[in-house]
Amino acid sequence: MTPRPLRLPVAATLALTIALSATPATAKDRSATAVAQAPETWIVADDYPAAALKAGTEGVSAVRWDITPEGKAENCSVTTSSGSPDLDQAACTAIVGRARYVPALDKKGRPVRSFATRRVRWQIPIGQPDTSVPYVLRGF
């Protein structure tokens, strides 16, 4: 059997649920928080590491990252491991590569550094027909 590419059509993307348990980014003075831009696009099915997929590895990665005054994610770290370094690294790689924000503001309305956290549940569904999404990331 030849493996199918892990590309999702637009309709299938709607079936993909991202487990981004929102913890708002917080500026140090808490006058305004960063606003995530399209977080449902940050982690997609293609981000599931091939080795983890082949091994049937699933888990929940909890991660934290900084949000720059320009609204980009950086310095991602794992706060609770899924038990799989591949899954944990994939969560950080995807978030740092795709996450964008309207940055948090200080009391004078200037963009400031803040942070955010998320949990990503990596789950391979059982019994999916060949025409369905090959795996999903499910919310809590």
Model confidence over 99-139: pLDDT tens digits? 999 999 999 999 999 999 999 999 987 754 443 344 445 44
Q: State residue 137's pLDDT score.
A: 53
Say which residue the tokens 């997929």 belong to: 53
Q: State residue 32's pLDDT score.
A: 76
**Residue 85 pLDDT more than 80?**
yes
Model confidence over 7-51: pLDDT tens digits? 433 222 222 334 443 334 444 454 578 999 999 999 999 999 999
Q: State residue 21's pLDDT score.
A: 34
Q: State residue 31's pLDDT score.
A: 57
Domains by residue range for the chain, with CATH: 19-125 (3.30.2420.10)
DSSP labels, the chain:
-PPPP----HHHHHH-------B----TT-SS--EEE-GGGTS-GGGS-HHHHHHT--EEEEEEEEE-TTSBEEEEEEEE--S-HHHHHHHHHHHHHH-EEEPEE-TTS-EE-EEEEEEEEEEPPSS--TTS-S-EE---
Q: Taking residues 50-56, what's their average pLDDT?
A: 93
Q: State residue 36's pLDDT score.
A: 93
Say which residue the tokens 């999903």 belong to: 136
Q: Is the pTM of this model over 0.85?
A: no
